[in-house]
Structure 1
Amino acid sequence: MSGGTVSIPYIRSVVETAASLVPGLTAAAILARAGIGAARLAQGDGALTLAEVDRVWAAAAALTGDPALGIEIGRRTEFASFGLAGQVMATAPDLGAALRAAMRFTPLIGEGSLIGIAHEPGLVLVTHRPQSPDWPLKEMRVDAALAAALVLSRLITGTRLAPAEVRFERAAPRDSGPWAAFFAAPLRFGAGMNALAWTHAQLATPARSADEALHALLLRHAEGVAAARLSASGAVADLRLCLQRLLAAGEAPTIERAAAVLNASSRSLQRALADQGTSFTAERDALRLALARRLLADGGLGVEAVARRLGFAEAAVFVRAFRRWTGETPARWRRVNASGPSAASSGASGPGTGRPA
């Protein structure tokens, strides 16, 4: 997983959908513009790197010129587009269980984004966050993710479910007609999040292909595949990338959330890290210290804002942690180091393996 990948079946659906929108446009032409050989997409279970996926999206957007390309790609979603994760979702007992499986096994599909669950009175929000704030063509790709999530929900239940609401971080497009027609639900642009809002009753809708025995078998298989990927690619490298993305997305960097993103249990993640001579607390603290020094030296953010960027619930907790790591407060460290350009990168050596902050 290190470096990030996206499954070939999903990218194939992106390319084929884009090609179908313009007469004479071919999948080969899109791949050629992206600098990717057509033979790569013939692999049944391979993957492209995130950089290659960025180029595919850029080529598809440029050659179609369609601002609603993301909606069209999501519209043509099939279970096959999501490989093993799609099979797990299809056999779940109900929509809620299927969506929880989607959150858990998203990295088996691709590592460009994070799926989360949030709650409001009467609603469950299935959220979608790009793992990088500067994701190329972010709005279009979020459109595709939300559209695909709705199509999957309808495939799972065999119904024409419409969410209670669809929320977008993005500003409203010039013509929101394609969005309104597709989602058939109230749309809220500039909402501060990307999410499909479901009622509890909707999440209890039975899955039409529910199969308890097969679901349990597929679930074990998916967990095994995820664990093998974690072991093969190096737990430390994967965790460091995961923690960076969680912080960039504004999520608390807990071991439970990191393990979920990495498709592992907390215990297996700790064991894999121990095999490489480290721990979750040590890795998280080292990253937080390096980022704290960089942000404090830059001088653009106050201590409270730095604490939030590092995933601390309160500034006081950050101050205690920073003092434990360095022996001084963030304010004092900033006064001494902010004037030197090297201070922002002085966190090469991490803190000790102290208590979790």
Structure 2
Amino acid sequence: MQDYQKLLALNLLAYAVQKNTSVDELCSQSGLEIDDLRSETKDQLTTEQVNKLWLNATDLSQDPLFGLHFGESLQATALGVVGELIRHSRTIGEALNHAVAFAHLITDAFVMELDQSNQAVAIRFIPNEERRRESPVAFRQKMDFFMAFTLHEVDGLILRKMQSIRVMLPVEGPDLPEYERVLRCRSIQNSSAYLIEFDHKYWDEPILTADYELQGLLLRKVSAMNDAFTNTKALSERINKFLLANAYLGVPTLDAIAANLNVSSRSLQRKLQEEGVTYQQLTDSIRKSLALHYLQSGHYPVKEVSYILGYNELSAFNRAFRRWTGTTPVSYQREIKQVL
């Protein structure tokens, strides 16, 4: 399956070169190898690597609005099969519906929603709060990128510029004029929400480059990718793998996991119930495994392990650990040291 995060990372590197940035330095500081990005056999990028890439690209390019300008420059074809599907949709409305359906294959920073009225269409980018908290600066660059990309890609589909009616995102001060230029809106509202609204007349605007036969083939291919992403493993197994892969971020809430998987919290709970498990049981199992790992390593004091695992009080961690093992974290760590 095509790795869209790697594809986006390669395009980011290509754009960084245009900003007179050293790719070698950017990759080195981000803990990446270009050959690994090109390889389908190498592991997926970690959240930490993705965040570092955005942060270092912003810093080395000396462009605090790197994401906004990157989004202004990128074309849909750079997003592989998903981008081609969008480009060969019949209308702008159809292209946006495809973008909403498959955005999670490209990023876990947000989910997209469309709101329609007789006068306007609003594209809402619903942030993944876990991603926002872990690296606010990288998160802002990603959101700037996707908002600018969404607006400017429409230009290439209908061969004329689409004008925004309303835009919402966190921005104020001296950067505002540049956001107004790129997002084509004089009424940008400083808000924690992210939204682009445009006239409803664009919804049925035909895409001039559409190839309907190719669109059908692309839709089947992307749908197969989506099925592989969502259905090849039991949901509980996918969540376990995600929690372990992102253990350095702590244990996220049910709402954060649901947003990452592009489902509602209620739907996630129902699907797990069908598999005979609850999210609480999954996180409890992960916390136990991680607690044992961290304590056995000998590199972390008990209080720090408690904090990493998301316990607000050390006493709560002690009670949980005793329930898992029959002993306290301090006693367990002492026994490990004696064995070693």
Residue 87 of structure 1 corresponds to 84
Over 3 Å counting, the alpha-carbon distance change for 1:341 and 1:43 in structure 2 is same
Which one of the candidate residues 33, 39, 46 is aligned to 1:37?
33
Aligned to 2:182: 182
In the alignment, the residues of structure 2 paired with residue 344 and residue 134 of structure 1 have an alpha-carbon distance, to the nearest angstrom, of 27
Structure 1 residue identity aligned to 2:51: D
Q: Which amino acid aligns with 2:24?
A: A
Give the Cα separation in 1 of the matches to 2:264 and 2:126.
Answer: 14
Alpha-carbon spacing, 1:157–1:112, altered in 2? closer, same or farther (3 Å): same
Could you tell me which of 309, 316, 322 is aligned with 1:342?
316
Separation in 1, partners of 2:72, 2:134: 22
Q: Distance in 1 between matches of 2:313 and 2:228?
A: 46
Pairwise CA distance, 1:222: 0.9
Partner of residue 218, structure 1: 218
Specify the SS of the correspondent of 2:57. helix
Task: Trace 1:229-248 onto structure 2 (pairs within 5 A).
Answer: 229-238=229-238, 243-246=255-258
**Is the contact between residue 112 and residue 130 of structure 1 (CA under 8 Å) also seen in structure 2?**
yes
Distance 1:251 1:105, change over 3 A: closer
Structure-2 separation of matches of 1:344 and 1:194: 41
Measured after TM superposition, the shift of residue 285 of structure 1 is 8.5
How far apart, in 1, do the equivalents of 2:171 and 2:210 lie? 38
TM-score when scaled to structure 1?
Answer: 0.66
**1:207 aligned onto 2:220:** no
| TM-score w.r.t. length of structure 2 | 0.69
Q: Which amino acid aligns with 1:162?
A: Q
Partner of 2:167: 166
Where 1:217 maps in the other structure, the secondary structure is helix
Query: How far is the alpha carbon of 1:226 from its aligned partner?
Result: 1.4
Partners of 1:286 and 1:345 lie apart in 2 by 16
After superposition, residues 39-58 of structure 1 pair within 5 angstroms as 39-43=35-39, 47-58=44-55
SS at match of 2:174: coil
Offset at residue 187 of structure 1 (A): 3.8
Name the CA distance, whole Å, in 2 between partners of 1:245 and 1:12.
27
> What is the identity, as a one-letter code, of the residue corresponding to 1:42?
R
Shift of 1:54: 0.8
Decide whether the 8 Å contact of 1:124 with 1:199 is kept in 2.
yes
The one-letter amino acid of 1:342's match is A
Asked if the contact 1:6–1:53 (Cα under 8 Å) also holds between the matched residues in 2, the reply is no
Secondary structure of 1:126 counterpart = strand
What is the aligned counterpart of 2:265 among 245, 253, 260? 253
The code of the aligned residue for 2:155 comes to R
The 5-angstrom pairing of residues 134-149 of structure 1 reads: 134-136=133-135, 137=137, 138-149=139-150
In structure 1, C-alpha distance between the alignment counterparts of 2:35 and 2:204, rounded to whole Å: 42
Whole-angstrom distance in 2 between the partners of 1:193 and 1:345:
39
What is the 5 A alignment of 1:14-33? Answer: 14-22=12-20, 25-33=21-29
Give 1:39 shift. 1.2
- Using the alignment, how far apart are the partners of 1:250 and 1:232 within structure 2? 16
CA distance in 1, matches of 2:319, 2:230: 29
Structure (1/2) with the larger helix percentage: 2
Other-structure match for 1:11 = 9
Q: Which residue type is aligned with residue 14 of structure 1? A: L
Contact 1:17 1:72 in 2 (8 A): no
Amino acid paired to 2:36: R
How far apart are the structure 2 equivalents of 1:50 and 1:194?
Answer: 21
Evaluate the alpha carbon distance shift between residue 49 and residue 157 of structure 1 in structure 2; reply closer, same or farther with a 3 A threshold.
farther
Q: Is the 8 A contact 2:258 2:264 kept in 1?
A: yes
Distance (Å, rounded) in 2 between the aligned partners of 1:210 and 1:29: 40
Deviation per CA, 1:80-116: give whole Å up to 9, x if none.
3211111111111111110110111112223232122
Counting aligned pairs with the same residue, the percent is: 15
Inter-CA distance 239–33: structure 2 relative to 1 (3 Å threshold): closer
> Is residue 79 of structure 2 the alignment partner of residue 68 of structure 1?
no
Q: Which amino acid aligns with 2:6?
A: I
Aligned partners of 1:7 and 1:110 also within 8 Å: yes
RMSD: 3.8
1:207 CA drift (Å): 0.9
In structure 2, C-alpha distance between the alignment counterparts of 1:226 and 1:251, rounded to whole Å: 13
Instruction: Tell me, yes or no, if the aligned pair for 2:110 and 2:259 is still in contact at 8 Å.
Output: no
